[in-house]
Amino acid sequence: MKISKYLIVFLAFWLQAHLEAQTMSDSLHSTKARALLVKSDLLNVLNLKNIPAVHSRKSCNCGCDIKKEAYTSKSSPHLLDAFDFCDSYVFEIKSNWYLYQSISKEIRSILTSHGFNFVNKDILYKSKHGIEYLNVEGEDTLTFYEEKKYKKGKWVIKISLSTPN
């Protein structure tokens, strides 16, 4: 009887540790999957979903490949570049400033809906040399949201999402 109690207690602790390790592993893998879902939703919002990507590769300082996908279309006023680094996904959206308000809110809601809640943190505003900056820092140095509005009507959003291995 005592052996079965000890066995049950041991199995309970082992199972709990195994489940905790599994959820940590799932959360690490789901970050990359969530970044891909963000990319898909960004393509939908920017009306670039059915546009084929132009692929290119570069080498990173750490030796890994940086994969770049460029989406552009004559029918859409937006450009999207998606960079797949070894430890993060970076999205760069270029557009005209008059489309800024509606798209900016949609992009933030996309990030929030996929669990990247850092966009709801404090916003840092700067203005320098005719360029207005809006920056939101994430949990680490590889996670941030940045907007730049230029005087001539150009508008750039850069989103970096950390995807640890």
pLDDT for 116-137, tens place per residue? 888 888 888 898 888 888 899 8
37-87: pLDDT as tens digits: 999 999 998 888 888 899 998 887 777 888 999 998 887 788 899 999 888
Q: How far apart are CA 124 and CA 65, in angstroms?
A: 32
Residue burial 38-64, b: 16+ Cβ < 10 Å; e: rest = bbebbbebbebeebebeeeeeeeeeee
- Residue 22, pLDDT > 70, answer no
Are 133 and 125 contacting, i.e. CB atoms less than 8 angstroms apart?
A: yes
Residue 19 vs residue 116, higher pLDDT: 116
**pTM across the whole model:** 0.75
Residue 73: what residue type? S
